[in-house]
Chains A and B, each alone.
Chain A
Amino acid sequence: MNLSMLKPGETGKIQGIRVTGPLKRRLMDMGVLVGEVIKVIKKAPFGDPIEVTIKNYNLSLRQKEAEVIIITTEDHQSSLNTSFEGVAAKGIKK
């Protein structure tokens, strides 16, 4: 499942970014990282792009870019406030 499938108000947990190169880099620089919780806020008047919240700020991206962000919708509520731990675990552990 990917981010573009979410409706406004729904949240998901990022599992991966299915693209390489500058787009991936850009997404990661903006905080779109594995383990983060991402919430769709709204869609633009023409249905695209979408507005999401990640890392406590608002970001807009196109549906097409949302399609490369792989998410799951279960088991993320608990980590909503401690999302950093997921990232920290991945980055620092070992």
Chain B
Amino acid sequence: MITVAVAGNPNSGKSTLINAIAGSRLHVGNWPGVTVEKKEAVFEREGKRIKLIDLPGTYSLSPYTQEEIIARDYLVCEKPDVIINVVDSTNLERNLYLTVQLLELGRPVIIALNIYDEAKKKGYRIDTTSMEEMLDVKVVVTVATERTGLNRLLAAVLEVAGNSSRNHSKQLDYGEDLEAVARVMEQKIKQNYNSLAKRYPLRWFIFKLLEGDGHVLKEINGCGDGLFIDDHVQHLRKIYGDDIESIMANVRYAKAAETAHRVLSKPEVRKIELTEKIDSIVLNRFLGVPIFLGLIWFVFKLTFDVSTPFVDWIDAVVSGPLKRRTVEMLGMIHTPAWTVSLATDGVIAGVGFVIMFVPVIFTMMFFITFLEGSGYMARAAFVMDRAMRAIGLHGKAFIPMVLGFGCNVPAICATRILENSKDRILTALLIPLMSCGARLPIYVLFVGTFFPVNSGTVLWSLYVMGIVLAIVMGIFFKKTIFKGEPSVFIMELPPYRMPSFKTLMVYTWERGKHFLVKAGTYILLVSILVWFLLNFPWGVEHKKDSYLGKVGQVVAIVFKPLGFGSWDVAASLVTGVIAKEIVVGTMGEIYVEKKEPGKKEQQTFTGDLKECGMSLTNAMKDSAKNVFSTFWVKSISIGGDKKLTPLRAIIQGTFTPLSAYAFLAFVLLYMPCIVASVAMRNEFGTWKWVGISFTYQIALGWIVAFAIYQGGKMLGIG
């Protein structure tokens, strides 16, 4: 098996390249012990098995960020057979800085000169032959978005892996003084630390010792006296008149610059590029913020309008034909009543509630992935940094915050892009206030039922409420738990790029799938548990007398002043601890009994099929119609004019619009779900922050819902 590590700068098109090569064989997981995404693929090529490992995108191998440490540890400890270094052809010098560091590792390197089409468009010409000579590596021109050069790249991998004379990389000349020091140290290490010399790439090891890298220093365990490291550092310092870190950075960048200068020819006159044109509008002093807010609003409206007809359709199919058929089938084999109940009200209802939200989640993930892949996410951070800093957050924190709208779980994982642990924790504490996709089911149901006319606006107000409260809480936390300097903000603004459709789909799919698997497992279990609590002791006349009903009755007292003090709502909220989408599921469970029991619909199997097909066609039509009407300001009703699904009819009797809004605010705020809590724990290694998150959110949710309901009543609303 040939192991191939793929390394490169962020925005070098690395993900697209890997997707193009591996496609469906790509396996997405996590690096052990951390939540940084790890992508792997194993496949065969000319009878040889190749294992492709995607390293996190990094600018350097200096061990400061989690990503850099992961990439470095893998390269140093696992010693891949080949390193594919994905290089952005339009940004050669800075990309080659990483290449120079990779060459220190002594493993064979192949450069994938990616995004070559854009470089050509800019009028760049890159002399790959002289690049190969200078760095003694294979250079392959690729355009990952068009799948160009992939065969040549894989051929190069096989060639390099099969050729033992190529099984190394060239050692670039770092200048006489540095090389002299390296030679002396190499000899000493070979004499005194022979095992280390075998375990680590020696040249890399020596430079890390000079740079004072903690991890490497630990390896020689304080007995580095014989190496005279300090003396060497002092010596170099005198010659270069600079500290050792600067010397190393300068030397490496000099190599990158020298190479880039020699192989790259650029046109004299630079064209004004598309990125600059877009940025002059998008980052405009007056337009920047409104454009950003408008874009987010637009994305959510589109997500909502496109997916709602499908949500309604799935809801109708699951609660209608699917349930009828199951009851009929189980009836034929004389299944006991409680099993029928478990299958339909527990399992099918639970699964149904998960599937129902597939369209919303996937559409949402699609847009978020698009924003990330296009380069706009970095602009969002740039535009928002000043504002984010006011609440003690880094502009980069905006990215996990935005991800939080899709799902809090990956958002909490994404706090990793922040370098400072205070930033990470604070961001993670505020993320649950970002209204995630799992809360959308509840909004869909309630907003569609109570505010059919201005559903878009009401929905938007909930998202804004979350953001405003995040600001308030951010300032609060900054003044209480977190005091100190904000972290650094050094971020590339990559050129705008059209993300490749395939990459977009793969990522949307992976993220959507992740959500579904996570939600599916938990929801199914909880759905069954809730069914048990609801139906046991078996044969209870009223749901109110069930176990869940009893819990609900106690908790309901707390919710009285908020306008939704009934036991059923309280019971639903209790089950929402596991995942917020379950609130709707529980309501479905509770209200199932209230569905007009006398009216037994007689439908034939073919009749059911026909009904499903017809309603699907209608859903598609509605969805398409909604896409276009989104471009006009006119708001679309969320299935408001259609016949209400059974659940909708029932909640209309339980809530008033005012108490419904207070309820939605409470749902938005009241606690992170179990999965988000687990993610938070993983991230920070302690339940402490999870506890803080629960406490402040319940308090906040209660206060806000109280203010809305009581305030609204005083104003005479509802």
What's the least CB distance linking B265 to chain A, in Å? 12
A5 to B174, CA, bound (A): 35
A92 to B492, CA, bound (A): 27
Q: Number of A interface residues, CB 8 Å?
A: 42
Contact call A49/B395, Cβ cutoff below 8 A: yes
Contact call B385/A49, Cβ cutoff below 8 A: yes
What's the least CB distance linking A83 to chain B, in Å? 8
Residue B231 lies at the interface, judged by CB distance under 8 Å to chain A: no
Q: Could you say which residues of chain A place their CB within 8 Å of the CB of B73?
A: none
Residue A77 lies at the interface, judged by CB distance under 8 Å to chain B: no
Q: Number of B interface residues, CB 8 Å?
A: 56
Residue B574 lies at the interface, judged by CB distance under 8 Å to chain A: no
Contact call B249/A29, Cβ cutoff below 8 A: yes
What's the least CB distance linking B533 to chain A, in Å? 51
Contact call A45/B253, Cβ cutoff below 8 A: no
If the complex has contacts A57-B91, A84-B254, A94-B177, are A45 and B490 also in contact, measured as CB distance less than 8 A?
Answer: no
Contact call B288/A44, Cβ cutoff below 8 A: yes
A92 to B250, CA, bound (A): 9
| B453-506 CB contacts (< 8 Å) to partner A | 488-495
Q: Could you say which residues of chain A place their CB within 8 Å of the CB of B285?
A: 43, 45
Residue B243 lies at the interface, judged by CB distance under 8 Å to chain A: yes
Q: Mark A50-94, 1 if CB is under 8 A from B, else 0.
A: 010001111111100100000000000000001110011011111
What's the least CB distance linking A28 to chain B, in Å? 4
Contact call B243/A34, Cβ cutoff below 8 A: no
Q: Could you say which residues of chain B place their CB within 8 Å of the CB of A43?
A: 285
Q: Which residue of B lies closest to A45 (CB)?
A: B288
Contact call A29/B258, Cβ cutoff below 8 A: no
Q: Could you say which residues of chain B place their CB within 8 Å of the CB of A88?
A: 254, 257-258
| B68-109 CB contacts (< 8 Å) to partner A | 91, 93-94, 97
B interface, over-half SS? helix
Q: Could you say which residues of chain B place their CB within 8 Å of the CB of A33?
A: 246, 249-250, 253
Contact call B249/A22, Cβ cutoff below 8 A: no
Contact call B60/A48, Cβ cutoff below 8 A: no
Residue A47 lies at the interface, judged by CB distance under 8 Å to chain B: yes
Residue A27 lies at the interface, judged by CB distance under 8 Å to chain B: yes
Contact call A31/B93, Cβ cutoff below 8 A: yes
Contact call A46/B493, Cβ cutoff below 8 A: no
A43 to B288, CA, bound (A): 11
Contact call A31/B488, Cβ cutoff below 8 A: no
Q: Which of A42, A57, A83, A91 is in CB contact (< 8 Å) with B492?
A: A57
Contact call A22/B64, Cβ cutoff below 8 A: yes
Contact call A44/B491, Cβ cutoff below 8 A: no
What's the least CB distance linking B536 to chain A, in Å? 58
Contact call A84/B489, Cβ cutoff below 8 A: no
Contact call B250/A30, Cβ cutoff below 8 A: no
Q: Which of A17, A26, A34, A55 is in CB contact (< 8 Å) with B488?
A: A26
Contact call B249/A28, Cβ cutoff below 8 A: yes
Q: Which of A29, A34, A44 is in CB contact (< 8 Å) with B62?
A: A29
Contact call B284/A45, Cβ cutoff below 8 A: yes
Residue A25 lies at the interface, judged by CB distance under 8 Å to chain B: yes
Residue A23 lies at the interface, judged by CB distance under 8 Å to chain B: yes
Contact call A31/B64, Cβ cutoff below 8 A: no
Q: Could you say which residues of chain B place their CB within 8 Å of the CB of A31?
A: 93-94, 97, 253
Contact call B382/A60, Cβ cutoff below 8 A: yes
Q: Could you say which residues of chain A place their CB within 8 Å of the CB of B252?
A: 91
Contact call A56/B254, Cβ cutoff below 8 A: no
Contact call B491/A59, Cβ cutoff below 8 A: yes
Q: Which residue of B lies closest to A84 (CB)?
A: B257
Contact call A30/B94, Cβ cutoff below 8 A: yes
Q: Could you say which residues of chain B place their CB within 8 Å of the CB of A48?
A: 385-386
Select the residue from B247, B249, B489 with max chain A CB neighbours within 10 A: B249
Residue B658 lies at the interface, judged by CB distance under 8 Å to chain A: no
Q: Mark B369-388, 1 if CB is under 8 A from A, else 0.
A: 00000000010011101110
Contact call B489/A94, Cβ cutoff below 8 A: no
A42 to B281, CA, bound (A): 12
Contact call A84/B93, Cβ cutoff below 8 A: yes
Residue B261 lies at the interface, judged by CB distance under 8 Å to chain A: yes
Contact call B250/A25, Cβ cutoff below 8 A: no
Q: Could you say which residues of chain B place their CB within 8 Å of the CB of A42?
A: 279, 283
Q: Could you say which residues of chain A place their CB within 8 Å of the CB of B387?
A: 46
Residue B632 lies at the interface, judged by CB distance under 8 Å to chain A: no
Residue B134 lies at the interface, judged by CB distance under 8 Å to chain A: no
A56 to B253, CA, bound (A): 14
With A29-B249, A44-B283, A47-B386 known, 4 other A-B pairs at CB within 8 A are A28-B246, A28-B250, A29-B62, A49-B395
Interface residues of B (CB under 8 A from A): 59-60, 62, 64, 91, 93-94, 97, 173-177, 239-240, 243, 245-247, 249-255, 257-258, 260-261, 275, 279, 283-286, 288-289, 378, 381-383, 385-387, 389, 395, 419, 488-495
Interface residues of A (CB under 8 A from B): 17, 20, 22-31, 33-34, 42-49, 51, 55-62, 65, 82-84, 87-88, 90-94
Nearest first, the 4 closest Cβ-Cβ pairs linking A and B are A84-B257, A91-B254, A46-B386, A45-B288
Instruction: Please name 15 pairs of A and B residues whose Cβ atoms are closer than 8 Å in the assembled complex, sorted by A.
Output: A26-B488, A28-B245, A30-B492, A31-B97, A42-B279, A46-B289, A56-B93, A60-B382, A60-B492, A84-B93, A91-B254, A91-B255, A92-B174, A92-B175, A94-B239
